[in-house]
């Protein structure tokens, strides 16, 4: 049983890496998660423009994964840009009724 689980995990790792590369990205990390699972936590470095959504859609449609959650991670430089943009928007935005 343990050997079958190991082979399945290694196959998912290989397939995940190939899917990311096909979308122009790369697999960074692949972890097993016993909570809410069994499951996996996969970290990809993907180009912008929906590449991560495309990969996850294909994998879910194939029935390989369920309960998938995408989380976009931001670099500190991106956070600074977002905060600067938010400051500009905040000055222009007027909530309805005020």
Q: Is the dihedral of CA 61, 64, 67, 72 positive or negative?
A: negative
CB of 55 closer than 8 Å to CB of 20: yes
Which stretches within the chain are classed as H helix? 2-22, 51-61, 76-92
pLDDT in tens, 33-76: 777 667 778 888 988 778 989 988 888 888 777 777 888 888 99
Output the pTM of the full model: 0.64
Q: Dig out the tokens for 43 from the structure.
A: 């970290």
Q: Which residues pair with 45 in a beta bridge?
A: 26
Closest CA to 16 of 69, 48, 58, 47: 58
3-state SS assignment for residue 44: strand
Average of per-residue pLDDT values in the chain: 82
CA 43/CA 27 separation, integer angstroms: 6
In this prediction, residue 71 carries a pLDDT of 87
Per-residue confidence band for 86, with pLDDT thresholds at 50, 70 and 90 = very high
pLDDT given at position 44: 87
Asked if pLDDT for residue 9 goes beyond 80, the answer is no
**Is the pLDDT confidence value at 87 over 90?**
yes
Q: What is the pLDDT of residues 12-38, one digit of tens each?
A: 677 778 888 999 999 888 887 777 667
């Amino acid at each position: 049983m343990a050997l079958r689980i190991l082979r399945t995990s290694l196959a998912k790792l290989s397939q995940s890496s190939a899917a990311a590369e096909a979308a122009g990205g790369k697999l960074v990390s692949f972890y097993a998660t016993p909570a809410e699972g069994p499951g996996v936590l996969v970290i990809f470095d993907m180009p912008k423009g929906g590449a991560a959504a495309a990969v996850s859609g294909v994998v879910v449609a194939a029935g390989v994964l369920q309960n998938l959650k995408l989380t976009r991670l931001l670099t500190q430089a991106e956070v600074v840009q977002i905060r600067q943009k938010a400051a500009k928007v905040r000055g222009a935005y007027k909530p309805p009724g005020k």
